[in-house]
Structure 1
Amino acid sequence: MGILRNLSEYIIACLKPPAKRIPKKTVNIRVKMDCEGCVRKVRNAVEDFEGVESFDVNQKLQRLTVTGFIDAKEVLEEVKNTGKTADIWPFVPYNLVTYPYARGAYDMKAPTGFVRNVPQAIGDPKSPEMKMMVLFNDDNPNACSVM
Structure 2
Amino acid sequence: MGALDYLSNFCTVTSTSNKKKTLQTVELKVRLDCDGCERKVRNAVSSMKGVKSVDVIRKQNRVVVKGYVTAKKVLKTVRSTGKRPELWPYVPYNLVTCPYAAGTYDKKAPPGFVRKVAAPAAATSGTPDPHESFASLFSDDNPHACSIM
Q: Is 1:89 the counterpart of 2:88 in the alignment?
A: yes
Q: Which residue of 2 aligns with 1:22?
A: 21
Distance 1:37 1:18, change over 3 A: same
Give me the whole-angstrom Cα distance separating, in 2, the residues matched to 1:81 and 1:97. 34
Cα offset, 1:120, TM superposition: 2.8
Q: Scaled by the length of structure 2, what TM-score is found?
A: 0.70
Q: Percent identity, aligned pairs only?
A: 48
Helix, strand or coil for the counterpart of 1:119?
A: coil
Q: What value does the CA root-mean-square deviation take over the aligned residues?
A: 2.7
**Structure 1, unaligned runs of 5 or more:** 1-14, 133-147
Q: Structure 2: which amino acid aligns with 1:22? A: K
Q: Which residue of 2 aligns with 1:66?
A: 65
Q: Scaled by the length of structure 1, what TM-score is found?
A: 0.71
Give me the whole-angstrom Cα distance separating, in 2, the residues matched to 1:50 and 1:69. 8
Distance 1:119 1:16, change over 3 A: farther
- Structure with higher Rg: it is 2
Give me the whole-angstrom Cα distance separating, in 2, the residues matched to 1:36 and 1:105. 31
Relative to structure 2, which stretch is displaced further, 42-51 or 115-124? 115-124
Give me the whole-angstrom Cα distance separating, in 2, the residues matched to 1:52 and 1:61. 21
**Structure 2, unaligned runs of 5 or more:** 1-13, 133-149
Helix, strand or coil for the counterpart of 1:60?
A: helix
Q: Which residue of 2 aligns with 1:112?
A: 111
Q: Deviations over 1:91-131 (max 9, x none)?
A: 000011111011100001111111000003696489646x9
Helix, strand or coil for the counterpart of 1:120?
A: coil
Map 1:23-42 to 2 at 5 A.
23-42=22-41
Number of matched pairs: 118
Give me the whole-angstrom Cα distance separating, in 1, the residues matched to 2:125 and 2:108. 29
Helix, strand or coil for the counterpart of 2:60?
A: coil
Give me the whole-angstrom Cα distance separating, in 2, the residues matched to 1:112 and 1:18. 44
Q: Which residue of 1 aligns with 2:74?
A: 75
> Are the equivalent residues in 2 in contact too, given 1:32–1:62 (CA < 8 A)?
yes
Cα offset, 1:25, TM superposition: 1.1
